Amino acid sequence: MSEAAMRPEIVRPTRADQDFGVVEKQLTPFERLYNLAWLRKSALLVVLALAWELYARQLDNPLLVPTFGDTVSAWWGAVASGVLPARAWVSLQVLAIGFVAGVLLAGALTVLAITTRIGTDFLETMTAMFNPLPAIALLPLALIWFGLGIGSVVFVLIHSVLWAVALNTHAGFRGVSQTLRMVGRNYGLSGLRLVIRILIPAAFPSILAGLKIGWAFAWRTLIAAELVFGVSSGKGGLGWYIFEAKNQLEIPDVFAGLLTIILIGLVVENVVFRTIEARTIRRWGMQQ
């Protein structure tokens, strides 16, 4: 084995700033606009609306596909007359009751599951059994048990929210690092106080994901339930609005109802949940 070849040492002076070509340069206006996600998505929506309008005009059959313009004016008319907001309000009220009840039940079940082993077994068995069961399949049974009132809808809503939220929350709790648990116990926390002050915030990304899934399930289930059995206690929701419009062959109104469902979904996803995310997990560095 020979020695490595000897080479002269090299030491270089640091260059001055002006020697470099580009250190930092602003992007062109187009590049900057193209970087805005909302602008790109809005442009896509405009293209889709145009395609819809053109296809509907070419088809020229308002009973099958009304034009985009007709749909928007039907929607605007229904909003201005107050019918659509009232129907949406009815749906949202029922939804809120079912969602909150489902989340509370899920919370109770998960706390039971992480504090006792039998609770874990119970939660795992129940979610394995009921999670694959579409909530709407329970509606006929719910109608027999709870009658035509709001009770049966709330029952199926709870079913649609409970398992998704419980599953995610439980997975989140189990994912909390051993170190964080030990830190909490070091402060003298245990039992429910440890859950509330350490586990829930630490598992918040999973909990929020569960809430989002639960919301989406509940929203779909609600509209489907309303379509199937319509009016509850004299006032109908959005599903009933669509059902009625279809019976009267007011197809632009059917589309307006669908549009409202989409709009509410978008607002909840992009405003409500996005704000919660920005204020919590993104600020805490738990999500990029």
Q: Which residues bind another protein (CB under 8 A)?
A: 177, 179-180, 182-183, 185-189, 197-198, 201-202, 204, 280, 283-286
Q: Least Å distance between CB 83 and another protein? A: 44
CA distance 101 to 219: 14
Record the tokens describing residue 160, joined without a space: 């649609």
Nearest residue (CB) to another protein, 40 versus 193: 193
Gyration radius from the chain CA atoms:
27
Q: Considering the complex, state which of residue 57 and residue 193 has its C-beta at the smaller distance from another protein.
A: 193
Nearer to another protein, 76 or 187 (CB): 187
Nearest approach, Cβ of 208 to another protein (angstroms)?
Answer: 12
Question: Does residue 212 contact residue 273 with C-beta atoms inside 8 Å?
Answer: yes
CB of 252 to another protein, least distance (A): 48
Backbone angles phi, psi at 231, to 5 degrees: -65, 135
Toward another protein, which CB reaches closer, 32 or 283? 283
Closest to another protein by CB, 40 vs 279, is 279
> Which tokens hold the place of 280?
């919590």
Q: Token digits for 250? A: 């007011």
Q: Which amino acid is at 125?
A: T
**Which residues are paired to 172 by β-bridges?**
none
> Shortest approach of another protein to residue 230 CB, angstroms?
45
Taking the alpha carbons at both ends of the chain, their separation in whole angstroms is 52
Report the alpha-carbon distance of residue 96 to residue 92 in Å, rounded: 6
Nearer to another protein, 75 or 204 (CB): 204
Least Cβ distance, residue 204 to another protein (angstroms): 7
In the complex, least distance from residue 177 CB atom to another protein, rounded to whole angstroms = 5
Instruction: Return phi, psi of residue 113, to 5°.
Output: -70, -35
Cβ proximity of 194 and 181 under 8 Å? yes
Please provide residue 15's backbone torsions phi and psi, each rounded to the nearest 5 degrees.
Answer: -75, 155
Tokens of 259: 């549009």
Least Cβ distance, residue 276 to another protein (angstroms): 13
Decide whether 186 or 247 has the Cβ nearer to another protein.
186
